[in-house]
A and B are shown apart, each in its own frame.
Chain A
Amino acid sequence: MQTYDVAENGLRGLNSTLQAQSKETNQTNWEVQNPKGSHAIAVGLDAPIEVTVKGSTGYYCAGMNQQATIKVEGSVGPGVAENMMSGTVVVEGDASQYAGATGHGGLLVIKGNASSRCGISMKGIDIVVHGNIGHMSAFMAQAGNLVVCGDAGDALGDSLYEAGLFVRGSVKSLGADCIEKEMRPEHLEVLKDLLERAGADAKPEEFKRYGSARQLYNFDIDNAAAY
Chain B
Amino acid sequence: MKDMDTNIPRTVPIQSATFTNEINSEIRRAAATGIYDIRGGGAKRKVPHFDDLLFLGASVSRYPLEGYRERCDTSVTLGTRFAKKPIELDIPITIAGMSFGALSGPAKEALGRGASMAGTSTTTGDGGMTPEERGHSTKLVYQYLPSRYGMNPNDLRKADAIEVVVGQGAKPGGGGMLLGQKISDRVAEMRTLPKGIDQRSACRHPDWTGPDDLEIKILELREITDWQVPIYVKVGATRPYYDTALAVKAGADVVVMDGMQGGTAATQDVFIEHVGLPTLSCIRPAVQALQDLGVHREVQLVISGGIRTGADVAKAMALGADAVAIGSAALIALGDNDPRWEAEYQKLGSTTGAYDDWHEGQCPAGITTQDPDLAARLDPVEAGRRLRNYLKVMTLEAQTIARACGHNHLHNLEPEDLCALTMEAAAMARVPLAGTDWYPGKAGF
Q: Pick the contact of B216 from A39, A44, A64, A218 — CB < 8 Å?
A: A39
Task: Find A39's partner among B153, B200, B219 (CB 8 Å cutoff).
Answer: B219
Stretch at the interface among A11-19, A168-176, A193-201: A11-19
- The answer to whether A124 touches B224 (Cβ under 8 A) is no
Asked if B207 CB lies within 8 Å of chain A CBs, one says yes
Whether B206 and A98, one on each chain, are in contact in the complex, defined by CB atoms closer than 8 angstroms, is yes
> Is B48 an interface residue, CB under 8 A from the partner?
no
CB contact under 8 A between A162 and B219, given known A82-B207, A85-B152, A121-B148: no
> Restricting to A83-139, which residues have a CB under 8 Å from any CB of B?
83, 85, 97-98, 101-102, 104, 117, 120-121, 123-124, 139
A4 near B: Cβ within 8 Å?
no
A98 to B34, CA, bound (A): 36
The residues of A that contact B200 with a CB separation of less than 8 Å are 140, 159
Is the CB of A32 closer than 8 A to any CB of chain B? Answer: no
> Which single member of A15, A82, A218 contacts B198 (CB below 8 Å)?
A218
Q: Is B65 an interface residue (CB 8 A)?
A: no
Q: Which of chain B's residues have a CB closer than 8 A to the CB of A139?
A: 206
Q: Interface-forming stretch among B165-173, B189-197, B315-323? A: B189-197
**Inter-subunit contact B153/A102 (CB<8 Å):** no
Across the interface, do A121 and B202 meet the contact criterion of CB distance under 8 Å? yes
Distance (Å) between the CB of B165 and the closest chain A CB? 14
| B185 interface residue per 8 A CB criterion | no
Q: Is the interface of B mostly helix, strand, loop or mixed?
A: loop
Q: Roughly how many angstroms separate A101 CA and B151 CA in the complex, as a whole number?
A: 12
Q: Which of B147, B153, B202, B213 is the one whose CB lies under 8 Å from A64?
A: B153
User: In whole Å, how far is A12's beta carbon from the nearest beta carbon of chain B?
Assistant: 7
Cross-chain contact A161 with B220 (CB below 8 angstroms): no
Smallest CB separation, B359 vs chain A (Å):
11
The contact string, 1 if C-beta is below 8 Å from chain A, for chain B 331-362, is: 00000000000000000000000000000000
**A63–B220 CB distance below 8 A:** yes
In the assembly, what is the distance between CA of A107 and CA of B277, in Å? 44
Q: Within 8 Å CB of A123, what residues of B?
A: 148, 192
Does A221 reach chain B (CB closer than 8 Å)? yes
**Known contacts A121-B202, A123-B192; A59/B223 CB under 8 A:** no
**Closest chain B residue to A121, Cβ basis:** B206
> Are B224 and A58 touching (Cβ within 8 A)?
no
- The residues in A between 148 and 171 inclusive whose CB is less than 8 angstroms from any CB of B are 159, 161-162
Q: Contact partner of B224 among A44, A142, A162, CB < 8 A? A: A44
Contact B148 A39 (CB under 8 A): no
0/1 string, B204-244, CB within 8 A of A gives 1: 00111000010011011001111100000000000000000
Return chain A residues, CB-CB under 8 Å to B226: 16, 19
A124 in contact with B34 given A40-B223, A60-B217, A63-B220 (CB within 8 Å)? no
In the assembled complex, 11 residue pairs joining A and B whose CB atoms fall closer than 8 Å, in A order, are A43-B224, A59-B217, A60-B207, A79-B207, A85-B153, A97-B207, A121-B202, A142-B191, A217-B198, A218-B197, A221-B34
Which 4 pairs from chain A and chain B are nearest by CB? A44-B224, A221-B34, A79-B207, A102-B148
Interface residues, chain A, with chain B CB atoms under 8 Å away: 11-12, 15-16, 19, 39-40, 43-44, 46, 58-60, 63-64, 66, 78-79, 82-83, 85, 97-98, 101-102, 104, 117, 120-121, 123-124, 139-140, 142-143, 159, 161-162, 217-219, 221
